[in-house]
Amino acid sequence: MVNEKNFEEKGLSLNDLFFLAKKNWLLILIVIFVSILSGAIYGFGIRKTTYSADATAIVMAESSTATANGYQDYLYSNYLINTFKDFIVSDSVIELVKEELKEYNLSKKQILDSITVSVTTNSLILRIKAKAGNNDLAITLANTVLEKAMEAANVTENGEYKYDVLANKLIDMEYAYEATGSRGALTVLIISCLLGFIISFGIILIKYLIEDTFTSKEEFEQMFEIKVLALLPSIQINGGNKK
């Protein structure tokens, strides 16, 4: 095929893409419109609302170094906050959360998928964000994870703390009292628009690769970078059309 051969030899340049986009602008608009419309129907109508709630705590510890100062205590606390970040999603905590919320019949994977533990930049604030399909569960989940994290950190064995380095280091806890709901419709619309662009250009490229004829003088000139001086019109031969 002439087009395919030319594509293989020269590749598809940016100018070629602009040329194809200009030639198929209506197709692009239709595909994008359909994609955005589908995204709007899903985002505003079908997609369920997700509720999120935040619970926070401050990690504060004193360094065991005899000559430690305030800055060293801060560095030590900063080290512990990242340790807590991993500890909160460990089996030691999640198992306690699962047992506490057994009425909701949540698996460990569901709990882990529903919570996000983050650290505020340049601070010692630990934030636990919980997402759920209803307002009450989001609040309960965030608060339960925070409570069980403190409980697991302070567990004792034979009169001694099992995790001595973490014990009594969570202070000034702030529980979640409300949750915010969102369908994420804007995100869905943005993704739908991008998919519309990708799908439409995918269709155009497929058409370009399988088409073996030129449909216009401009396409021929663009492809071979030559000037067409004249075109032969259709002529009638034996009652049939011959182009």
Token pair 């209506």 is found at 26
Cβ-contact 57, 166 below 8 angstroms: no
Distance from C-alpha of 22 to C-alpha of 3, rounded to nearest angstrom:
18
Task: Give the total number of structural domains in the chain.
Answer: 2
Do 128 and 172 fall into the same domain? yes
pLDDT computed for residue 33 by the predictor:
92
- Asked if residue 116 and residue 205 are part of one domain, the reply reads no
Amino acid code (one letter) for 103: E
Q: Show the domain range for 160.
A: 50-182
Residue 170 has a pLDDT of: 83
Q: Residue 64's pLDDT is what?
A: 54
Q: Which residues pair with 216 in a beta bridge?
A: none
Give me the tens of pLDDT residue by residue for the chain, a chain 243 residues long.
444 444 444 556 677 777 777 888 888 899 999 999 998 888 888 888 899 999 999 887 765 554 455 677 777 787 888 889 999 999 999 999 999 999 999 999 999 999 999 987 777 889 999 999 899 999 999 999 999 999 999 888 888 888 888 888 888 888 998 888 887 888 888 999 999 989 988 888 887 777 666 666 666 676 666 776 666 666 555 655 554
The answer to whether residue 112 is domain-embedded is: yes
Query: 220 lies in a domain?
Result: no
Residues 26 and 143 in one domain: no
Report the C-alpha gap between 99 and 117 in whole angstroms. 20
Q: How far apart are CA 133 and CA 116, in angstroms?
A: 15
For residues 127 and 198, state if they share a domain. Answer: no
Query: What is residue 227's predicted lDDT score, i.e. its pLDDT?
Result: 75
pLDDT at 233: 64
81, 169: one domain: yes
Residues 111 and 37 in one domain: no
CATH number at residue 88: 3.30.1890
CA distance 181 to 1: 55
The SS3 assignment for 186 reads helix
What is the residue-wise DSSP string for 68-86? --HHHHHHHHHHHHHHHHH
96 and 171 assigned to the same domain: yes
